[in-house]
């Protein structure tokens, strides 16, 4: 089972099943569309104001000119996806962690 954890300003917020599935699918689609290492178990997005960071299996992925205008699209997609969720301060520090199906036992190891 895929697990999504969502944090706002360091505090974990509840993620309902629909939001979890939707978020996991969007995050996986973003990573699949970028020049990233092949992911196997973990995707991590951190949004701080206009800055967005991405880690795939703990490896930082630069969202710079080598990715075209990906930084803007990724940032705006993530922000749009979370801005109306309960307990989310869209101007705060947002962290989304996605642990992919079949790999939860390995990552908890």
Q: pLDDT confidence of 36, banded at 50, 70, 90? A: confident
Mean pLDDT of 45-58: 92
Backbone torsions φ then ψ of 6, nearest 5 degrees: -125, 130
pTM of the shown model? 0.85
Give the percent of the chain with pLDDT over 70: 89
Instruction: Please tell me the predicted confidence (pLDDT) of residue 102.
Output: 56
Q: Give the tens place of pLDDT for each residue, 70-92.
A: 888 999 999 999 988 888 888 89
Segment 85-103 mean pLDDT: 86
List the domain boundaries for the chain: 3-104
Cα separation, 58 vs 39, whole angstroms = 10
């Amino acid at each position: 089972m895929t697990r999504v954890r969502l944090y706002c300003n360091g505090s974990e917020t509840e993620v309902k099943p629909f939001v979890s599935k939707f978020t996991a699918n969007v995050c996986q689609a973003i990573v699949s569309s970028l020049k990233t290492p092949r992911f196997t178990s973990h995707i991590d997005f951190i949004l701080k104001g206009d800055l967005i960071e991405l880690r795939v299996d703990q490896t930082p992925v630069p969202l710079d000119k080598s990715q075209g205008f990906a930084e803007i699209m990724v940032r705006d997609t993530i922000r749009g996806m979370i801005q109306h969720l309960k307990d989310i301060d869209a101007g705060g520090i947002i962290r989304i962690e996605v642990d992919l199906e079949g790999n939860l036992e390995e990552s908890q190891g």
